[in-house]
A and B are shown apart, each in its own frame.
Chain A
Amino acid sequence: MSKTFDTSTPSPASTLDAKIHYLFQLADNALIMGQRLCEWTGVAPELEIDLALCNIALDHLGQANAWYEYLVEIYPHPTDVDQLAFCRDEHQYYNITLTELPNGDFAQTIAKMALFSIFNYYLHDALRKCPDARIAAIAARSYKEIQYHRRYTSNWILRLGDGTDTSHERMQRALDIVWDHAFEAFAPSPADRIMHQHGIAPDLEQIKSLWEHEVHQLLHKATLSIPETGFTGYRAKSDGIHTEHMGYLLAEMQYMQRRYPNLQW
């Protein structure tokens, strides 16, 4: 992007800055989840799973598109959805690191999707009732899709956790791998705080307790243990500092726009 809007300062200068940053958090989470899920296409464990993962990926890309469209409207200078989605540098993406983690095996993908979609479910449940009509409308539409993502992935946690010894072991290992990254969702970014003060974003502490309650119950039912929490300092959604995986994801996703800038496709 030739001109960028500074949304990465620890204290956004204005409410608009905060709102833009906040919308990027929502949009980028959806985009990066969708992008990763696209990698499963054609190679899922069975055709029905292929179909479901395509469907969920498409939901995420649609949600990202809706958030970017709103961003385009309120952005301080002219831009478009694809400039926002494809033409930023790595440190200008504000997704949580959980979403950018590699898919790993099917268990790891499910672990990542389940932990994310349970968070996303409570987040969107709050946002669909918020006073910003536009945010509420997009969240309400997304909420219906996210209900399905939460149900689909929770069912797989149960099947894999309580299926065979192998699947149990793989599911447990997968949870251990992605676990720490989930906590980034609950560490408020400056934009989260400001939007919360304006009554738009929910209190993340509350979302965290709902999430913990549901995840603990789910894992218990699936005969899985709650992983030990390690590093919880990931803050990509605040400062754009990502994991080592993000650069590769963007190199692939941005290839066409980088190689052939300013063209219509």
Chain B
Amino acid sequence: MDQTTSIDLEKRFEGKIAQELKIEPKDWMPEEYRRMLIRQISQHAHSEVIGMLPEKNWLTRAPTLRRKMALLAKIQDEAGHGLYLYSAAETLGVSREQLYRDFLDGKAKYSNIFNYPALTWADIGVIGWLVDGAAIINQVSLQRTSYGPYARAMVRICKEENFHQRQGYSICLTLARGSKEQRQMLQDAINRWWWPALMMFGPPDAESKHSQKSMKWKIKRASNDTLRQKFIDQTVPQLEYLGMKAPDPHLKWNPERGHYDYGPIDWEEFWNVIRGKGPCNKERLRTKRVAYEKGQWVRDAAIAYAKKYN
């Protein structure tokens, strides 16, 4: 490709971004844009897939049949979200197989939040409420992301995530209105998930290395700190309605800012978990790796059979 054409293509691309038009798989795009998208979409897909594990931990022990069904339906949706997202990533010219291998080899990241353990039934409520709640804030903003297949996947995913958050909050509400033991179980779960949920939006804007370019190309539509603040503002009234407390003595309404102020986040913990030093990093990946290895003969059989008869 000669120099002029390349510049023209780039101009056309930037023009589309400026006009809020979607970039589609067959459109020309800068290699860096493609790489950033592959990275973000595949991380999102891996998060859906690994996020099934903490919830699965309570699926076989769910306290009622209705809760068991709702949790299973939620987990099933997550597997489905993983599939759409892998498909969206594949439109950028990578194979799902490769992405999945990178994930199993620990080369690709996934949301830190799934490296924390789900210890009681209350955790299932709090995961639905806070973790899915945080995910929705992020995903609602991504419905306007510049890459068409990703934006469309987000529209579909957001619809289902709303249902997930409601089922989580409904568990929390039942516990909050329950016995002393149930309320304590809920408070303990909130104490353990609160800070990791706030960390889900990523490092502060000043330290976020991918943010600037990502915002410029409208992959990302709002900054980490903006989304985090939005989440806190939305969540505190829900927390109060439950009659529970956040483990943050600095959490307070600031009438001047029109937002809640919150205390310092332990970013050292965040970076440690990113580097593989969270409570469940090794275990989660090992579980997925072992499952993949144990399933090899099944996948081989399916391929062999298809070759014989198709």
Residues of A within 8 A of B (CB): 31, 35, 38-39, 41-51, 54-55, 57-58, 61-62, 64-65, 68, 81-82, 85-86, 105-106, 158-160, 162-164, 166-167, 170, 252-253, 255-257, 260, 263-265
Classify the secondary structure of A's interface with B.
helix
Q: Does B206 contact A (CB under 8 A)?
A: no
Across the interface, do B76 and A55 meet the contact criterion of CB distance under 8 Å? yes
Across the interface, do A167 and B294 meet the contact criterion of CB distance under 8 Å? no
Across the interface, do A61 and B72 meet the contact criterion of CB distance under 8 Å? yes
Q: Does B304 contact A (CB under 8 A)?
A: yes
Chain A positions within 8 Å of B83 at CB level: 47-48, 51
Across the interface, do A166 and B291 meet the contact criterion of CB distance under 8 Å? no
Compute how far the CA of A162 lies from the CA of B309 in the bound complex, rounded to whole angstroms: 10
Q: Does B68 contact A (CB under 8 A)?
A: yes
Across the interface, do B52 and A167 meet the contact criterion of CB distance under 8 Å? no
Across the interface, do A163 and B300 meet the contact criterion of CB distance under 8 Å? yes
Interface string of B289-310 (1 = CB under 8 A from A): 0111011111111101100100
Mark out the residues of chain B between 76 and 106 whose CB falls within 8 Å of any chain A CB in the assembled complex: 76, 79-80, 82-83, 86
| Segment with Cβ contacts to A, from B59-67, B159-167, B228-236 | B59-67
Min CB–CB distance A84 → chain B (angstroms): 9
Mark out the residues of chain B between 186 and 217 whose CB falls within 8 Å of any chain A CB in the assembled complex: none
Chain A positions within 8 Å of B300 at CB level: 163-164, 166-167
Extra inter-chain contacts (8) besides given A45-B296, A158-B305, A160-B298, CB under 8 Å: A65-B65, A86-B64, A162-B308, A163-B302, A253-B60, A263-B179, A263-B182, A265-B63
Chain B positions within 8 Å of A61 at CB level: 65, 68-69, 72
- The total of chain B residues at the interface (CB under 8 A) is 50
Nearest CB in chain A to that of B49: its residue? A47
Across the interface, do A42 and B52 meet the contact criterion of CB distance under 8 Å? yes
Nearest CB in chain B to that of A169: its residue? B297
Across the interface, do A82 and B305 meet the contact criterion of CB distance under 8 Å? no
Across the interface, do B121 and A256 meet the contact criterion of CB distance under 8 Å? yes
Compute how far the CA of A81 lies from the CA of B67 in the bound complex, rounded to whole angstroms: 12
Compute how far the CA of A54 lies from the CA of B298 in the bound complex, rounded to whole angstroms: 18
Chain A positions within 8 Å of B66 at CB level: 65, 81
Known: A50-B79, A252-B60. A164 touches B178 (CB 8 A): no
Nearest CB in chain B to that of A171: its residue? B301
Q: Does B181 contact A (CB under 8 A)?
A: yes
Mark out the residues of chain B between 100 and 142 whose CB falls within 8 Å of any chain A CB in the assembled complex: 121
Contact of A42 among B53, B80, B171, B178 (CB under 8 A): B53
Min CB–CB distance B167 → chain A (angstroms): 12
Across the interface, do B121 and A57 meet the contact criterion of CB distance under 8 Å? no
